[in-house]
Amino acid sequence: MKDEQLKNIWNMMNDKSGTLGSLDLRTEQFIQSSSGSVQEKIRSLLQNDLILKLISAIAFLLNVFFYLNTLQIIYVCIAGILFWTIMTTIEWKTLQGFNKIADPADPTRDNLSKMLVFLRRKANIYELTIASSQALIFIPGLLIYFFLVYGAVKPMTGESFVVFTILCLIGTIVSFFRTKSQIEFHIKHLTICLSDLNDNSLGFALETIERQRKQDHLIKSLVGLVLILGFLVFIAIYKSIVA
Amino acid sequence: MKCNIKDFDELLDQHKGIIHKVSMLYTSNREDQEDLFQDICFQICKSYNSYRNEAKLSTWLYRVALNTAITQVRKNKKKTPAETFYENIHYASSGHGKDEGQIQSMFKAIARLNRVDKALILLWLEEKTYDEIAEILGISKSNVSVKLVRIKKSLAKMINGLEQ
């Protein structure tokens, strides 16, 4: 084969613009930086909330120490610490899961679609655990305030119980909706980024979300059924004991 | 060191063919190709201020692109065997109908070359002079000449073998 033949074959190749199809470097770079910023925002939201939860744990422990002689407050603290443990474990696992899927070494479109699937699936858990921090800070914070100012907590009347519960609920609900709007903004942003990539990643991600949602629904229904059955069995046993 | 975005955009528009070809020759699948493309662009942007008009711009670009590609191949040696080159062939040659076979054979043959020989043949196919090839790869002109004779022979032999 002569030199000219080799060069002719080479020249038959797609020219400058053909080799990478419709890839636009600037679009890709923009999307890559957007993907990175979404990752960072979500990660920092979870990390900051975990720091807040750590403060709340310290506050609960301080209350145990302050109110050693007040059994009712000790019960409140134990219940609070149990609730804290559940919420923090869920949130910690969510963060771990997010760190696993948001690997900067992965291609941009993979990262985007994995994040989109993750956020759509876990958004409710994510919003609830973050919102729970409000109650977890409000209750021990208030107890510490009472101890420092009055040295004790007076027995609560029905009215003050309602007022504190309402205040606590308002904080939690506001935080829930604020986080929800943030997550929805990120989901919208990720969806736009994926559709800008002009390939089938968005369709694939949406299919995965739908499939996993169906699985989640099935699991939730089964858990609900087991709980109802368990409750009925419990009532039956209780009635037989009482009778 | 900062990269002037406007200059860089113009540079990229004019010479992206070079980066495409280098990134295609040194990778085994589209994702790696896109990653290498980005790496080369980043490297060009980073070192753009060090370009001093002593060499032709395309010569300098080839040097940066090939150095980045060869370094990446060295890093990913275990991950990306040179023989698994065939994914690129499909989209590089699509649309050429009857010539597709010849292009595929050429790609397969180039894929079997080592990373320096690959750079040499790429530059020769891109009509670079022996002086320019020597400058880009940092070897002597006589070395370029000797190596090219050997590479062209083995390439032609491989292509003929693959076409039969």
Give the mean model confidence (pLDDT) for residues A37-46. 81
Which chain B residue's Cα is nearest to A110? B31
Is B13 within 8 Å of chain A by CB?
no
Q: Is A1–B99 a contact, with Cβ atoms under 8 angstroms apart?
A: no
Q: 10 Å Cβ neighbour count for A233?
A: 10
Which of A24-28, A151-155, A189-193 has the least mean pLDDT?
A24-28
Lowest-confidence region among A64-78, A177-191, B66-80: B66-80
Confidence band (pLDDT; 50, 70, 90) for A51?
very high
Does the pLDDT of residue B103 top 70, yes or no? Answer: yes
pLDDT of A21 higher than 50: no
Kindly tell me if the per-residue pLDDT of A56 is higher than 50.
yes
Cβ contacts below 8 Å, chain A against chain B, sum to 65
Contacts of A13 in chain B (CB under 8 A): 92-93, 103
State the pLDDT at residue A27. Answer: 55
Q: CA B33, CA B27: separation in Å to the nearest integer? A: 5
Task: Nearest by CB to B34, from A14, A18, A107: name it.
Answer: A107
A 10 A CB-CB count for B121 gives: 24
Residue type, A137: I
- R_g of chain B computed on alpha carbons: 16
pLDDT for B84 equals 46
Instruction: Kindly state whether B42 is in contact with chain A, defined as any CB-CB distance less than 8 angstroms.
Output: no
Q: Is B92 on the interface with A (CB under 8 A)?
A: yes
Render pLDDT for B117-136 as a digit per residue (tens, 0 to 9). Answer: 888 888 888 888 888 888 88
> For residue range B80-93, what is the model confidence (pLDDT) as tens digits?
444 444 445 544 54
Q: Is B151 on the interface with A (CB under 8 A)?
A: no
Q: What is the mean pLDDT of residues B3-21?
A: 72
The span from the CA of B146 to the CA of B144, in Å, is: 6
| Chain A CB within 8 Å of residue B117 CB | no
Average pLDDT over residues B12-30: 80
Task: Locate A64 and state its tokens.
Answer: 């145990």
In whole angstroms, give the CA distance from residue A26 to residue A31: 8
Burial of A137 by CB count in 10 Å (0-12 exposed, 13-18 middle, 19+ buried)?
Answer: middle
Q: Is B95 on the interface with A (CB under 8 A)?
A: yes
Locate the chain A residue with the closest alpha carbon to B9.
Answer: A26
- Of A140, A172, A144, residue with least CA distance to A56: A140
CA distances to A169, B32, B43, B88, B159 from B76, rounded to whole Å, are 54, 10, 18, 17, 27
Predicted pLDDT at B5: 59
Residue B87, pLDDT score: 47
Name the pTM for this structure: 0.46
pLDDT for residue A197 is more than 70: no
Residue percentage of chain A with pLDDT more than 90: 9
Res B94 pLDDT > 60: no
Alpha carbon separation from A3 to A175, A176, B27, B96 (Å, rounded): 71, 70, 25, 21
Interface test with B, best of A23, A25, A33, A113 (most B CBs within 10 A): A25
| pLDDT tens, position by position, A136-184 | 898 899 889 988 988 888 777 777 778 888 888 888 888 888 888 888 8
Average pLDDT of span A188-210: 67
Task: Name the pLDDT band for A134 (thresholds 50, 70, 90).
Answer: confident
| Chain B CA closest to residue A21 | B91
Distance from CA of B17 to the nearest CA of A (A): 4
Q: Are B92 and B103 in contact (CB under 8 A)?
A: yes
pLDDT at A243: 53
CA closest to B107 among chain A residues: A10
User: CA A139, CA A142: separation in Å to the nearest integer?
Assistant: 5
